Structure 1
Amino acid sequence: MPRGKRRAADTISDNMDHGQPKRARTSYTSIPTQQSSRRHIRAEDGFSQKRCLTWFQEYTSPDEPETLGPDGMEKFCEDIGVEPENIVMLVLAYKMGATQMGFFSQQEWLKGLTELDCDSAAKMVVKLDYLRSILNDPNSFKSIYRYAYDFAKDSDQRCMDILTAKAMLQLLLGKHWPLYPQFAQFLEQSKYKAINKDQWCNILEFSRTISIDLSNYDIDGAWPVMLDEFVEWLRLQRSQVTSTTSGSS
């Protein structure tokens, strides 16, 4: 959950691969060394809505007591030992039904953490592996992938800007789609400044169904023009490499 939208686009792709950060300053399974009495609550203790709300208020300000904002988000991530750009934070936001990147409302917090039976940092640390495991289910991953589009784009825009889109694609597909590096390169040199929801959803389907050699790609299929152009571009790149190799041998 980045501090802000622009920070997301700048840092996610540097810090993340699918499910695991490239560098983690804090162990995912450790509880912070500076523990309050709240953190001494045993993970097996029953869920308390009152305790959950008290925990939420540790991350809010008197001016906005029902909104956990970017500063509170950083402190929350520090308390549970997770980088803000970790994909597990996207899964948690999905569980909460959060509507804006970098923010949790009190209602969203209660919804998600009641379902997870979490009312303390200690309990959340225990749940992190479960949250990551949700990504291993193809249907759940598809739901989270689609959720990420509306969650990450600017609420007043119909499409996701290309910088945010590339960062989120790196986060979600970077380690699991063999053609992702080529697709990212294609986007870099393309005319596209934004990605719409139809394109976003079809990128996932393309990554799941089209083989790395493009042999099962149907030019008459119902893919968005963006993906037709990607295939044309990639085939051209490969033919140029083949020609260069043949000419030097």
Structure 2
Amino acid sequence: MPVKNKRKLPAVEDQRIRKSKIPTFTARTLLHGHHAMVPEKTFSSKKCMAWFQQYAGPDHILGPEGMEKFCEDIGVEPENIVMLVLAWRLQAVNMGFFTKEEWLEGMSFLKCDSTERLQSKMEDLRSGLNDAALFKNIFRYAFDFARDKNQRSLDMDTAKSMLALLLERTWPLFPLFHQFLEQTKYKGMNKDQWYNVLEFSRTISTDLSNYDEDGAWPVLLDEFVEWQKTRPIAS
């Protein structure tokens, strides 16, 4: 945003100005210069925690039942990718659960202390998926988020579901990769394989012409390329 030239104020006025008196403005308001500038509401931790308690159980954890009601109230399906982005912003550890600490810290970052304020941020959360660096962070986060914490790898059924959520809309080869995973001998996917799937989807052309067999790709992806040679190439 360009920096405007400061207007020099009379000395008497200078003495009366305090930073606490200067309102902050929403990005949406600043985009419309012909509208009156409306100060952004102050975030309230107390209000945020009261909001959390609407969904939390006796253990002060927002679990599956509370999550279903929460999603219904904000108008988003639990399987919608924006819920994964929200979980990433809250740095939630376990899929389907938010602790009060995760909720308060994440919602404080988002400046959301009510359903309405979170709904107003949904487009911003979705837009993060279009930023390559942010998407990479979300993709990597998804591995540990969805993983059974007693296992080091992601079971294959969960891996396929999460990859569909993250890559189906952007990777032309994903339908064939999903088909390959359906018939593969692998029962799970480790972190190195998971990370490399994203890099593969970003760097390897749909006709696989730039795939280097001597590269440092995991065996899983080498086997996919070999399997793919016997299938029609996606256009």
Q: Shorter-chain-normalised TM-score: which range?
A: 0.7 to 0.9
Match of 2:116 among 108, 117, 122: 122
Partner of 1:6: none
Match of 2:143 among 149, 161, 165: 149
Matched residues in 2 for 1:129 and 1:238: separation?
37
Task: Quote the RMSD (CA, aligned, Å).
Answer: 1.2
Matched residues in 1 for 2:76 and 2:153: separation?
29
Partner of 1:48: 44
Partner of 2:54: 58
Aligned letter for 1:164? Answer: T
Partner of 1:210: 204
Partner of 1:232: 226
**Deviation sequence 1:191-227 (CA, Å, 0-9, x none):** 0110000000000000000000000001000000000
Match of 1:194 among 188, 194, 198: 188
Aligned letter for 1:47? Answer: F
Once the two structures are TM-superposed, the CA of residue 236 in structure 1 deviates from its matched residue by 1.7
Matched residues in 2 for 1:143 and 1:91: separation?
10
Residue 176, structure 1, aligned to residue 184, structure 2: no
**Deviation sequence 1:3-60 (CA, Å, 0-9, x none):** xxxxxxxxxxxxxxxxxxxxxxxxxxxxxxxxxxxxxxxx953210000000000001
Matched residues in 2 for 1:69 and 1:44: separation?
31
Contiguous gaps of at least 5 residues in structure 1: 1-42, 240-249
Residue 90, structure 1, aligned to residue 53, structure 2: no
Matched residue of 1:237: which SS? coil
Residue 135, structure 1, aligned to residue 135, structure 2: no
Instruction: Give % identity.
Output: 62
**Deviation sequence 1:119-176 (CA, Å, 0-9, x none):** 0000011000000011111000000000000000101111000000000000000010
Contiguous gaps of at least 5 residues in structure 2: 1-38
Residue 107, structure 1, aligned to residue 92, structure 2: no
Matched residues in 1 for 2:142 and 2:59: separation?
25
Larger relative contact order (C-alpha < 8 A, sep ≥ 6)?
1
Partner of 2:69: 75
Matched residue of 1:236: which SS? coil
Aligned letter for 1:64? Answer: D
From the CA coordinates, give the structure whose radius of gyration is larger: 2
Structure 2 length-normalised TM: 0.81
Partner of 2:154: 160
Matched residues in 2 for 1:121 and 1:145: separation?
26
Matched residue of 1:217: which SS? coil
Matched residues in 2 for 1:237 and 1:46: separation?
57
Matched residues in 2 for 1:89 and 1:207: separation?
23
